[in-house]
Every structure is written in C-alpha cells, then in structure tokens.
Structure 1
Amino acid sequence: MSEDLREMLTDAAVREGDVVTGEVTAVDDHGVTVALPHGYEGHISPQELSALPGTHPSDVVSVGSTVTAQVLKVDMESGHVTLSKRRAEQASAWERMQQLLESGEPIEVEIRDVVKGGLVADVGVRAFIPASLVDRHFVENLEQFKGQTLRAKVIEVDPQKNKLILSRRAVLEEESEARAQKLFEALKPGDVIEGTVQRLTDFGAFVDVGGADGLVHISELSFTHVNHPSEVVHEGDRVKVRVLRVDPEAGRISLSIKAALPEPWETYANEFRPGDVVQGVVRRVVDFGAFVELRPGLEGLVHVSQISNEHVDKPSDVLQPGQEVTVRVLSVDPERKRISLSMRDSAQPRGGQGQGQGQGRGGRRDRRPTESRNDGASGPTLGDLFGDLFK
C-alpha cells in the first residue's frame, strides 16, 4: 500500500463501526461495490445487504443508487473497506419499530418472500406477517402478495429474539371501521343501493353495501316464501337492496331485497278479474286454507270451504306445497291486497255444470218405466201416481 493511500485513509478517519454513505457503482452475484468519499471504495457481500437470507443483490440496490452502510473492516494495506447495509439499518430499525408499535401508525412494506405460514418483508430487520393477519378473511394463495407493497401495523417487537410481527388485517379492519362510520352517517331508511352478498345463514343473507355488512332477513329476500336464502341469492352476487333500518350504536343495518323490487300487485293485479279460471302453484298450506301463487310474488287464498265440492277437514289432506292447481278468481281487493280463490268447479265454464242435460244428481228428475203388478193387471200404481211427492 502506498504512503499516499495510507495517509488518505488515516486522514479520512474511516474506522470500524462508522456509518458511511456512498453511491453504488457495481452489482453482481458477489455483492455490491460502493464509491465512498475521499476516492476509495467499499464492498457489501450478499449476506450483509438484507435482513432476509438468500436475497440477491439486484433485489436490494441498483447501480447509481445511494446506500448507507456500517464499516465492518478497513484493510489499511489494500485500502479495501468491508461494509454492511444490514447492520447499519438494524439498530435504527428496531428503534423505529418500537416507536410504531407505541403510536399505532401503519408502515408500508414490500413483501420479499412467501414462507410457510405467512409473508416476509425487510424493514431493516426481518418482519413477518402471519397468514391469519394478512387479510380480514382467509387467504388461500399467499403468492399473490409477493412483490406487492402493503400497509401493516407493528404488533410485536422483540429485538432479543429478532422477532418483529406485523398485521395487515389490523389496517384493513381500521379502514373498514372508518368506512362503516361514514356509511352509517350517510344511509337513511328508504335508500335503494347496491351491494355484494358476503355470506348466507339459515336466517338470511349478509350484504356488503360499501364498508359495512347489512342483514337481509329471510323474510325480506323475496315476495314468495323462501325456505333457505340459497334459493334466491349466492355469495358474490350483486344485488339491489332497500335500507329498512340503521342502528349506528349497535352497528346494524337492516336491508330488504324484495322492497327494492317492483310490487307484484302493481305489476300483475290488473291481469285478474272475478270469474277468471287460472293455473297456480300451492305455496303454503295453513289450517284455514291454502295460498296459491298466481304470478311471482302474487298469491291468492283458497279458503278451506272453497277447496273441494266435498267437505274438507284439513287442507293438508288435499293440497301440498308445490302442487299445481286450477282455481277460479272469486274477488280481487287491491286496497287490502287480497285475492280470493276457489277450486270448486274451477275447471267448468261459468254458469254451472251440466246445463241442458236435465238436473240429474243436483236436481235432475229421473224417469223410471211403469211398474207391473204381480197379478198381471196393467194400469198406474200408487208409486206412479204419488211417487214424486215422496221424493
């Protein structure tokens, strides 16, 4: 080593442990070359570039970028300076993570790797986002996040164990709560909006209406009777809903799909007149009769007394849900939204049956041949003369 170089290094006072800044002049598989002040250069091996083992130098820096590193060793003979970017960042990184933990402020991190159980990022130290804290819902494929920049919160800092845990879910939940608050302030009963079906339960469907989930009770899914919400909607469906109630304190929104649809009475009621004979489907059977659907959402009642010409004790003895029947319209009451139906003689023309064929079993007079006496004498008998009086 020349005296000039030795003197230059001595004057520069570059010592082990110092933190220096320089410009990257070369990047290859063996590491990074950095031009330092005073005309000499340093080298950063791949192991000292990142807190994540196995990281390629080109994934961390590029030629022309500025890098800050800690001096690990100065070779006074060759003028070679060994540097570590990882160690320069480490001490300040732990301090900063502790501050973020206390303040609750989110941090942006680039996902550098996907490992079993979660995501890995480099924030000067190795940061880990468990799979359960990546999203508000279960994520099957974590590979989609590799290379992405995510916002997360620091939830655990332990320098002694080199442990740093982040949560993206905490950020998403906070953002969701903020959107929900705005939504509760903006929504009013009667509003008609669009939403996405999130999940189904036995009692209804939860619909995301832009930051908060509202419940469409099973009775509000359709104008027709619904046994299970899956008969009407599926997860992921876009639906139009009407807001029924908003309760900010309880965090509840009550919605209705059927209230956002055209009223069946307005659509179909004018199609029917008393005396019309139409086809329908039995939807519900109750003690006092059966409700028959004439059009989607439009039902009429067949009272138990109108189910058959014969006496019926229980409607369920004669009718079952899903059964197709022929009914006659008895009356239409738009104001009360009621249609009365009858199945008695509903298949016959108006005006009764058997016209022009005598009265028969409903009053037809039967004519019988004249009876003969045993003694062979002919002539009218008492039955012939007065039979009609005894009928």
Structure 2
Amino acid sequence: MSDLTTNNIMNDFLDDYDVKKISKGEILKGKVIEVNDKEAVVNVNYAFDGLISKQELSLDDKSPSEVLKIDDEIDVYVISPNDGEGYVELSLIKVLAIKEREEIKKAFEEEKNIVVYVKEEIRGGLLAYYGNIRVFIPASLASRNMIDLKTLVNNDLEVKIIELDFRNNKVVASRKIIEVEEYQINKKALWNSLKEGEKRTGVVKKLVKYGAFVDIGGIEGLIHISDLSWNRVNKPEEIVKENDKVEVYIGSIDLSKERLSLILKDVNKEPWTLHENEIKEGNIFDGKVIRLTSFGAFVQIFEGVEGLVHISEITDDNIAKPSDILEVNQNIKVKVLNFNKNDKKLALSIKDVNESNKEYLKYVDEEDGVSLGELFKDFKFE
C-alpha cells in the first residue's frame, strides 16, 4: 500500500471519529511511555503514539535511555503525522533547537551570559555547544589571560554571545569579555578598599632599573628602589626577584590616574627613628664608608643611617679628593658634628676623632711626667 493511500485512510479515520489533527512542524507536549536501544515511544494525547528515533534524540549518538526515561514529560516536534507504521514521527532535537535558538537570541539581544559545554579544541579556537547548537569561541576570546585552551575542554564555560547569524549557522561567543568586565569591577572595588599604610600580600611581576612592580590581587603597584630596603640598594635584584611573594605596605594612592606606590621595607623599623636617641653631637661611632664623592664621604653608623664627612673633615692634611685616603667598605671611627632629626641629615668628622685620640694619648703620655714607653718598658708581649 502506498504512503498516499495510507495517509488517506488515516485522514478518513480521523474525520469519522472527529479526532484532532496535527501538522508537520507543530510542537506537542508528551509523556514517555517506552524507551529501548533504538527509540522512545511518547504519548502525545493523539489517536496514535509518537516515535522518536535515536537520531532525533541526540546529536551525540547517545543511547535513548541516556536521554529519556519512562514518565518524562517533554515537548516534541512533529516531523510527520504518520510515519507509515501507525506512529507520529517526532523529534526531540528539533524542538530543543527551537527553544535553544530562542534562548540564545534573547541572551544576545539582552547581552546576557549563557553556559556552554566546550567539546573540543579546533583550529582557531574552541568548539562548544549550547544544547545542540554549535558555538565557536575564538582562541583570542577564550580568556583575558594567556591560557592553554586544552584546560577548557570538557568543561562548562560561561560566555557571552557576540555574533549571531542562524541563517549561516554562525554563533560566536567570548569568555574574555566576561573576565574583563569582572576584572574591572573587582579592580574598582580593590582600588576603593586601599588605605595608605596598610599591609598587603603581593607577587613581584617585573623588575626595572628604578624598582619592582608588584601585583596585590589585580592591581600592580611600584616599589621604588629607595623603598625596597632601609639600606642603600644599587639594583632591585639585590632584594627581590620575579615571582617572589612579598609583604608590602601601601604608600601613596592616586585613584584618578590609577597609580599606586608600595613599600617593601618595614615602615615600623625606620632606622632614623629607631636610633635618633642614640645620636648626639660629640658622640663617636664605628662606621663604614659606603660611598665616595668629590666633596666627601658617606659613612654608615647604623643600618639605614648614614652621614656625610665633608672633605674638610677627613684630615688636616691637604688632599685633592676623599679617595686619596679612603675607600668604600673601609671601617673608620667618626664623630657627630651635627644631627638634624627632621631632615635626617647627619654631619660627621673623621679628623676630630683622630685629634681626640692624639690629645688623649698626649695626656696619658705626659701625666706625672711618665711616658707610656717607660710604663711598659719591662712588659713583654707574647
């Protein structure tokens, strides 16, 4: 019997019993009454039950039992009111595709995010699915950061549709745009939470001649070379290296220009403050020459505390430059001439210490008319 004859018989049957008619493309509600390896049978409240083949259940070639179970209530798409064997030919894929298209279109128009399943890495990016709809994610839009695309495969991913053309089966999405939006929101919140003087944990990202850039959780700040240590630093790598985890203090904050200065040295251990009560005019200290200039020598008397010995205070002898008699890292004694606490300036003298020593030796040597040589003439040094 031909299909045409069969259809005519069915139509006569439906007319005789005044049963509702269904049409191709119609969407019906149904209830699953049977599932096997090849198909699913659905009651659609019609004279005949509906049949969904395995191919119309899933694009992933899943077994019908993986997709549906008995008593599931679903919407189905009518492919044909009569499959030639007494069933209504139905499709789950097509009805889902209609719904999914509507959802994607709405998300695109309202600029809302959707969740897709990343199926595989392909040339130029990632192939993902929103239900049964293919979605392409270009490699450049897969993340705000440089990542290995393989880490996203077989995972759900929240994206935003940026291009939609169903006629040409073109659906393009971006994960990067979401991450950029989140980054901007988090960055703004972080900027607003910053307070000068508070302590933060960060990671050294880059070293430059004048300091180190540190990320404190989405914001990068600069530790100037002078703020790496209380001691003199010639280059940042003497103190830190890239990827070091560091504890820093918030320095100055410029919200309008989004500039942040950080401090690595402990602000609570500022050397000048720690030692200011020990430094008094006339005191003599053991020091170390840390730098020589044409006009004098800088001498450190405590870590982070240094003063200037002017060339005229080095010796009474006539010298052309400090390096004539001094060298860097040389240990010497110095006398405090002047201490300005507010400006943290310290004037020192070497020659005054030597003169004091000469006067003391002369005093001891001449006391009671007995010289040091005479006092120790019979003493043997071993």
TM-score normalised by the chain length of structure 1: 0.67
RMSD: 4.5
CA distance in 2, matches of 1:95, 1:206: 48
Pick from 25, 30, 53: which aligns with 1:17?
25
Q: CA deviation at 1:131?
A: 2.8
Residue 194 in structure 1 maps to residue 200 in structure 2: yes
Corresponding residue for residue 43 of structure 1:
52
The code of the aligned residue for 2:168 comes to K
Query: What is aligned with 1:107?
Result: 114
The AA in structure 2 aligned to 1:136 is: R
Residue 138 of structure 1: CA displacement? 0.8
Contact 2:248 2:262 in 1 (8 A): no
Q: What is the CA-CA distance between 1:326 and the residue it aligns to?
A: 0.5
Find the partner of 1:234 among 218, 235, 242: 242
1:209-243 CA-to-partner distances (Å, cap 9, x unmatched) read 45543333444333334444444353362422224
Partner of 2:165: 158
Amino acid across the alignment from 2:58: L
What corresponds to 2:97 in structure 1? 90
Within 2, Cα distance between the matches of 1:86 and 1:224? 72
Structure 2 partner of 1:276: 285
- Does structure 1 conserve the Cα–Cα contact (< 8 Å) formed by 2:113 and 2:158? yes
TM-superposed deviation, 1:153: 1.8
The equivalent residue for 2:139 is: 131
Q: Which moved more, 1:174-183 or 1:284-293?
A: 284-293
Alpha-carbon distance in 1 for matches of 2:38, 2:275: 78
Q: What whole-Å deviation, never above 9, does each CA across 1:291-344 have from its counterpart, x for those lacking one?
A: 445554333334344567865545577777xx5320323227344423445566
Tell me how far apart the structure 2 counterparts of residues 271 and 26 of structure 1 sit (CA, whole Å).
94
Separation (CA, whole Å) in 2 of partners of 1:238 and 1:296: 21
Deviations 1:126-151 (A, max 9, x none): 112223223222113x3333344333
Once residues 171 and 65 of structure 2 are traced to their aligned partners in structure 1, the CA distance between those partners, rounded to angstroms, is 21
Residue 175 of structure 1 aligns to a residue whose secondary structure is helix
Question: Structure 1 residues 260 and 99, CA, compared in 2 at 3 Å: closer, same or farther?
Answer: farther
Match of 2:189 in 1: 182
Q: Which residue of 2 aligns with 1:337?
A: 344
- The Cα offsets for residues 50-97 of structure 1, whole Å up to 9 and x where unpaired, read as 4xxx57569984646655443334554434555444433334444443
**Partners of 2:192 and 2:53 in 1: how far apart?**
55
1:256 is matched with which residue?
263
The one-letter code matched in structure 1 to 2:79 is L
C-alpha separation in 2, matches of 1:59 and 1:310: 104
Aligned to 2:229: 222
Correspondence for 1:326 among 331, 335, 338: 331
Hey, what's the Cα distance between the residues in 1 that align with 2:152 and 2:303? 46
Q: How does 1:25-36 map to 2 (within 5 A)?
A: 33=40, 35-36=42-43
Alignment of 1:168 with 2:175, yes or no, is yes
Contact residue 31 and residue 44 of structure 2 kept, 8 A: no
Contact 1:107 1:151 in 2 (8 A): yes
Map of 1:78 onto structure 2: 85
Which secondary structure does the structure 2 equivalent of 1:324 belong to? coil
Q: Deviations over 1:245-303 (max 9, x none)?
A: 2223x33334333474531223455566722224x472x54443344455543333343
TM-score of the pair, normalised by structure 2: 0.69
Letter in 1 for 2:284: G
Which of 119, 127, 130 in structure 2 is aligned with 1:120?
127
Map Cα deviations across residues 181-230 of structure 1 (whole Å, 9 max, x no partner): 33444434x24141423622524444444554333344433333444444
Instruction: After TM superposition, give the deviation of residue 117 of structure 1 in Å.
Output: 4.0
Structure 2 CA distance for partners of 1:316 and 1:355, relative to 1, 3 Å: closer
Count of equivalent residues? 345
CA distance in 2, matches of 1:164, 1:59: 30
Identity %: 28
> CA–CA distance in 2 between the matches of 1:121 and 1:289?
71
Distance 1:223 1:160, change over 3 A: farther
CA contact under 8 A between 1:192 and 1:242: conserved in structure 2?
yes
